[in-house]
Amino acid sequence: MAKKLHIKTYGCQMNVYDSERIAEVLSPLGFEAVDDADGADMVILNTCHIREKAAEKVYSELGRLRVQKETLASQGKRMVLAVTGCVAQAEGEEVLKRAPFVDMVFGPQTYHRLPQMVAEATRATGQVLDTDFPEESKFDALPDNRTVDGATAFLAIQEGCDKFCTYCVVPYTRGAEYSRPAAQVLDEARKLVVAGAQEITFLGQNVNSYHGEAADGGEWNLARLIRAAAEIEGLERIRFTTSYPAEVDDDLIQAHGDVDKLMPYLHLPVQAGSDRVLKAMNRNHGVDEYRALVDKLRAARPDLALSSDFIVGFPGETDADFRATMKLIEDVTFIQAYSFKYSPRPGTPAALMDLQVDEAVKAERLAELQALLNAQTLAFNKQCVGKTMAVLLDRAGKKPGQLVGRSPYMQAVVVDAPEQLLNRIVDVTITSAGPNSLMGALNVDNRKACA
Ligand code: SAH
Ligand code: SF4
Ligand code: F3S
């Protein structure tokens, strides 16, 4: 009988990808993924350490799961409880100390060893802790069957970070930068397409620092990899995230200009709009360089839409610095953004810097910044009304008879459409726009196609 596996995923898209791969590693052991932790034989929390709140969520979830585990134990049943992801990597020992009822703690680079770990954890009373950065790459050991839920898929091509921005834990939780060989990536991309993917998003902590080994012994950069992936028949859309602005090269800019399958949407985190703050963050570029990069990208692809990440209240950020960030946002315009109050992280240089900003000031700045960013999102969405867009319909809508999909710019578009159009790319004319989604009507040709 199949054992039930529940994976709860926090944090970034890399964790979403890892969770899928973890399920694939455990499937030959008889584990079947389920949506609910209730009644599961194994529960895995795939965690995020990026801000304090993210890490604390894990401990409160563990508290809830402890009750469930104990109830099952009183009925003579066993639930294996595991923690992986960036909290596991950053503070594995601490997890076992604060939550001694956890059976396994493993980092993001060791989950290909799960079969052994599960055997160890179920055999005796012992807990398993595996947070090495092993010599071998997990990608060489993972099963090579891939499954796709719907028509879009993530594909990790690069992992780790050598940039050491002074606020960030990722270089410590994910380790040094590693690029997968190009042939391995393309092989996985083909498998995803066979499994139904029409859109693939290449993932990496610094995806544009990709420099994978090529079959001829040389190296491919991200642009070269995108061009090769664009040749795959059946793959219609390519995206990539997250890019590090200081390393966007001319090849990548050019690819935005001439690779049709590359979507005109780019996540390009800038964090702040003040040179002083960017320097203290160790971002390796100034404000003018960012503006110049955006200009070059838009010269190559005039309809390129940008999204970004922002941190407010970095240590030493003055009101003038914050104004400079607001000015940058006004000038560049972003159609989507993630913004956060600076959160001091243990072990990072910024946590020890003088002039930490008051929480109330951070909250005020964040509210003002988000109001501007939200207004830009809404303005962009409204501009789309009356236009026709290619939408990849990849899920059911809230109301019967509706499907929801993504525009080239990643907007959610809700359409009245028959079920046969699920997982198809259709032309939609946008009829109205809100802050979070667009409404659209199917173009006549699409309706004919499914009649
Ligand atoms: N590699 C990506 C970002 C990874 S983390 C990049 O370099 O852009 C995702 C986002 O979390 C970051 O872009 C940043 O905006 C935010 N972040 C990271 N550390 C943070 C911290 N200590 N406090 C608040 N936000 C943080
Ligand atoms: Fe963190 Fe900076 Fe690396 Fe991005 S580039 S993951 S923000 S250290
Ligand atoms: Fe979080 Fe780790 Fe991703 S800290 S954002 S899950 S790389």
* Ligand 3 geometric centre to CA of 152 (Å): 21
CB contact at 8 A, 47 and 88: yes
5 strand-pairing partners: 33, 42
CATH 3.40.50.12160 fits 3-130, yes or no: yes
Q: pLDDT exceeding 90 applies to what percent of the chain? A: 91
Helix (H) or strand (E) holding 115: helix 114-123
pLDDT of residue 125: 66
Stretch(es) of the chain classified as CATH 3.80.30.20 = 138-383
Stretch(es) of the chain classified as CATH 2.40.50.140 = 388-450
Q: Is 106 helix (H, G, I), strand (E, B) or coil?
A: strand
Stretch(es) of the chain classified as CATH 3.40.50.12160 = 3-130
Return all residues near 162 (Cβ < 8 A) that are at least 6 apart: 171, 176, 177, 206, 209
47 strand-pairing partners: 85
Q: Whose CA is nearest to atom 12 of ligand 1?
A: 309
* Ligand 1 geometric centre to CA of 339 (Å): 9
CB contact at 8 A, 104 and 83: yes
- Give the number of the ligand closest to the Cα of residue 166: 2
* Ligand 3 geometric centre to CA of 67 (Å): 27
Report angle CA 135, 141, 147 to the nearest 5 degrees. 140
Q: Is the distance from the beta carbon of residue 168 to the nearest atom of ligand 2 less than 6 Å? A: yes
Q: Is the pLDDT of residue 196 over 80?
A: yes
What are the tens digits of pLDDT across the range 206-248?
999 999 999 888 999 999 999 999 999 999 999 999 999 999 9
Q: Is the pLDDT of residue 135 over 90?
A: no
Neighbours of 176 (CB within 10 A): 10
* Ligand 2 geometric centre to CA of 267 (Å): 14
Distance, in Å, from the CA atom of 41 to the CA atom of 67, rounded to the nearest integer, reads: 14
* Ligand 3 geometric centre to CA of 175 (Å): 12
Q: In a 10 Å sphere around its CB, with 0-12 CB exposed, 13-18 middle and 19+ buried, how is residue 76 labelled?
A: exposed
- If you average pLDDT over residues 292-296, what whole number do you get? 98
Distance, in Å, from the CA atom of 231 to the CA atom of 238, rounded to the nearest integer, reads: 11
Helix (H) or strand (E) holding 136: none
In the 8-state DSSP scheme, what is residue 421?
Answer: G
Name which of 177, 188, 25 is nearest 111 in CA terms. 25
Q: Is the distance from the beta carbon of residue 206 to the nearest atom of ligand 2 less than 6 Å? A: yes
pLDDT band at residue 1 under the 50/70/90 scheme: confident
Q: Which ligand 2 atom minimizes the distance to the CA of 271?
A: 7
Distance, in Å, from the CA atom of 254 to the CA atom of 297, rounded to the nearest integer, reads: 8
pLDDT of residue 124: 66
CB contact at 8 A, 92 and 131: yes
* Ligand 2 geometric centre to CA of 63 (Å): 30
* Ligand 1 geometric centre to CA of 357 (Å): 17
Q: Whose CA is nearest to atom 3 of ligand 3?
A: 12
Amino acid letter, residue 103? D
178-179 and 158-159 strand pairing:
antiparallel
Which of 158, 177, 244 best tests ligand 2's pocket when mutated (most atoms within 8 Å of CB)?
A: 244
Q: Which ligand 2 atom minimizes the distance to the CA of 161?
A: 3
**HSE-CB for 142 with a 13 A CA cutoff:** 23
pLDDT band at residue 342 under the 50/70/90 scheme: very high
pLDDT band at residue 445 under the 50/70/90 scheme: confident
pLDDT band at residue 144 under the 50/70/90 scheme: confident
CB contact at 8 A, 102 and 82: yes
pTM of the predicted model as reported, rounded to 2 decimal places: 0.96
What are the tens digits of pLDDT across the range 345-380?
999 999 999 999 999 999 999 999 999 999 999 999
When the pLDDT of each residue in the chain is averaged and rounded to a whole number, the result is: 96
Name which of 81, 57, 54, 47 is nearest 67 in CA terms. 81
Q: Is 81 helix (H, G, I), strand (E, B) or coil?
A: strand
CATH number for the region 388-450 comes to 2.40.50.140
pLDDT of residue 219: 97
- Give the number of the ligand closest to the Cα of residue 57: 3
pLDDT of residue 451: 65
Q: Is the pLDDT of residue 266 over 90?
A: yes
- If you average pLDDT over residues 20-25, what whole number do you get? 96
Name which of 439, 264, 410, 431 is nearest 337 in CA terms. 410
- Give the number of the ligand closest to the Cα of residue 338: 1
What are the tens digits of pLDDT across the range 52-67?
999 899 999 999 999 9
pLDDT of residue 96: 95
Q: Is the distance from the beta carbon of residue 163 to the nearest atom of ligand 2 less than 6 Å? A: yes
Q: pLDDT exceeding 70 applies to what percent of the chain? A: 99
pLDDT of residue 120: 87
The domain made up of 138-383 has a fold known as pyruvate-formate lyase- activating enzyme (3.80.30)
- Give the number of the ligand closest to the Cα of residue 109: 3
